[in-house]
Structure 1
C-alpha cells in the first residue's frame, strides 16, 4: 500500500501541470522514420499560424528533444466537441509515460477560450504488480493566460478524481501560474524566436508542490519546457514544427 500511495501522490503531483504522454512507448525515434515532411522550421510550407501562443489545427506538428534525445512528434490528430466546446486531440504529448515504473496510457486535448489555454487529460495506469488499475477521470487545467503582464499571476482550483480500482479518491489541486517574461527573444537549438511568453506553473496537492516552466512563441506554440522532480530533470526543446 505504501508503494501505491507513493504512485498516487507522485502521479497527482505531475499529471496536471506537466505534459504527460499519450502512449507507453517512450523510446526515442529516428526523425528519418517519422514520415515525409515531419515538420521543418519554418519548413517548405509551414502554413498560416492562428495568431496566438498555441496554434491549434488538425495536423499541426511539433518535434522536441528531451535532454538531447528526439521524441515522437507532438501532433494534433482531430478536433472534437466536448460539452459544447472545441478541443484538439493529440497523438503524442511531451512528457513521461511512467510513474515510479508504472506505465500508463491516456488522452490529451487542448483548447483556447478568450486568452486562456487549457489542457484536458484522462489517464489509466493498468493493473500491474498485484495492484488494481488506476483511472484518472477527465481533468482540465489552465496552463496559460496570454493577456497578463510580467509578474501577474492566475489561480485555478479544482478536484482531481482517481479511481483506485472501484474506490474513488478525490484530491484538491491548486494551480498558480505566473508570467515571468513577455515579448522576449530566445534561442533554442540554434533557432531564434521572438515574442516569447515565459510562464511558471506551480501545482500544490496534498502538501506536494511541483513547478514547471514553459516558453511559448507567438504563432508557433510551445518551444521549450523544463522542470525537476526529485533527481529527475526534464528539458524539452523544439527541433522543428509544421503548422496548418
Structure 2
C-alpha cells in the first residue's frame, strides 16, 4: 500500500507563503518542518491561494472532485427531488429533454439492454451523491396534483354535509386483513431423496382475520376490533 499523502488547509499554506516572503524559502522550510517541494509548490501557487474566497480550513482550492457523468446534472437532481413531474421516471425524463445526449450515449453501447443497465448505474451513483434514496415504486392512476385536488374537494363536501357534528361524533373507520398460522414456504430435506420434504397433516392455507381500526376526529383511538369468520348481522357485542 502506498504512502498516504498528507493534506494541509489553505490557512496553513497562506501562513507559509507569508513566511517565505519574509525570510526566504530555505529558512521557511527549515522553520516550518514541511518538505521543501511542498512549500515550493505553495509558493508557486500563491496567487491562486490568495485569490481563494472559500473556507480557509479547506485543503484544496476546489476543482479536484469527481467530474459529473451528466452535463445536465443540476436539472436531473431537481427532477429527482421534485414530485418527478406527474410520477414519470428518470429514463423518460432524459429521453424527452436530452434526446441528443441520450442518442450519443446509446451509440457507445453494444445493445439497448446494455445502455439501459449502464445508464441505470450512472443514475444510481449520481442520486447517491446528492442524497436521493431509492424507494419501491408505487403505482398511481393519477398525478399527485390531481390527487390533492380530489382530496380537497372531498374535504369540502364532507364538512358541508357533516360540519354540524362535533369532533367526538365523527369516526374514521378502516379495516385490514391479518394472516396468521402461515405454513412454511420451504423445509429442510435430504438432497437427492424423493419425498424427503413431505410433512404430515400440513395445512397449506393460513388463517385470516380482519382488524377494524377506528379513530375519532378529536384524535382518540378506539380499541381494535378483531373479526374471525365474520358474517353479516352476526356481530352482537364484544
TM-score of the alignment, normalized to the shorter chain, above 0.5 = no
Of Structure 1 and Structure 2, the greater helix share is in: 2
TM-score by length of 2: 0.21
TM-score by length of 1: 0.20
Of Structure 1 and Structure 2, the greater strand share is in: 1
Larger Rg: 2
**Greater relative contact order, per chain length (Cα 8 Å cut-off, separation 6+):** 1
